[in-house]
Amino acid sequence: KDGRLLTIHGPDAEISEDLSRYRQVIVLGVGKASARMAAAMENILEDELSGGFVLTKYGHGLSLRKIQVLEAGHPVPDENSLAGARRMAQMAGAADDSTLIINLISGGGSSLLCLPADPISLEDKRQTTDALLASGANIDEMNCIRKHLSKVKGGGLAKMASPARLINLILSDVIGDRIDTIASGITAPDPTTFADALSIVRKYALDDKLPQAVRDYLDQGNKGKIPETPKAGDPAFSNAVNII
């Protein structure tokens, strides 16, 4: 940071943000490294930082000056995962076009950030995670189902944050560094569909292992009664940038 100009160098992106354009600058984050990443952002932003919130794994939290830190369950989400996701969603949803959100994403984000679509419960989500882990489904297949049961995954957080300026700084723990896979792509377009999710359920014979509410929700989505996750070209992503 030089004066009020914040410059971020990524492998294939360099952006400069004039912080004087924004009424507030907030930091959000999720993942096992999010508290350490947030500590670094506090040091970089100093007085420009309005506040923030990050969600990390038990034992990975830090005491920060302006950014609130909550620890939650990983790899199986718990009540804090739900509370943390609600808090993050609320802060993203309250942001307007005079807000800059710097969002810090690292490994473990999929499990930590748990905000199931209505009427799916935390217990439903846990049972689904357990069934998927036991089935032998790969990470892409697991994420496809997770995205379609969530309010925040598969681009959901970006949709909530729009029209704020959203800069996502991402530590990749995924081979190939695909932004739609890291932390279930909370800020990336989702190329998968409800139909894909149902075909994975069939492939691994999960029909009788998943909670009724989950099966019903996927079925409703496949019939077009529930909106799809945001795809490439959705205006939700027009003011967002992802930097690995």
Could you report the per-residue pLDDT of 56-79, keeping only the tens digit for each?
999 999 999 999 999 999 887 889
For 86-188, strand residue ranges (E) read 99-105, 165-170
Query: Are 96 and 104 in contact, with CB atoms under 8 Å apart?
Result: no
Q: What gap in Å lies between CA 143 and CA 125, rounded to an integer?
A: 13
137's CB contacts (< 8 A; 6+ apart) are: 145, 200, 203, 204
What is the average pLDDT value for the chain, to the nearest integer?
A: 93
One-letter amino acid at 1 equals: K
pLDDT in tens, 121-179: 999 988 998 999 999 999 889 989 999 999 999 999 999 999 999 999 998 877 677 77
Q: What gap in Å lies between CA 181 and CA 242, rounded to an integer?
A: 13
32's CB contacts (< 8 A; 6+ apart) are: 56, 57, 60, 74, 106, 107, 108, 112
Centre a 10 Å sphere on the Cβ of residue 60 and count the other Cβ atoms it contains.
20
Query: Are 230 and 158 in contact, with CB atoms under 8 Å apart?
Result: yes
* pLDDT bucket at 3, cuts 50 / 70 / 90: confident
Q: Which percentage of the chain shows pLDDT scores above 90?
A: 80
Say which residue the tokens 């992106």 belong to. Answer: 13
Residue 24 parent element (H or E): strand 24-30
* Alpha carbon separation from 210 to 31, 69, 91 (Å, rounded): 26, 32, 32
Residue 183 parent element (H or E): none
One-letter amino acid at 155 equals: G
> Is a pLDDT exceeding 90 seen at residue 22?
yes
> Is a pLDDT exceeding 80 seen at residue 180?
no
pLDDT in tens, 87-129: 999 999 999 999 999 999 998 887 788 899 999 999 998 899 8
Residue 242 parent element (H or E): strand 240-243
Q: What pLDDT shows up at residue 112?
A: 87
Centre a 10 Å sphere on the Cβ of residue 21 and count the other Cβ atoms it contains.
11
Centre a 10 Å sphere on the Cβ of residue 241 and count the other Cβ atoms it contains.
16
* pLDDT bucket at 84, cuts 50 / 70 / 90: very high
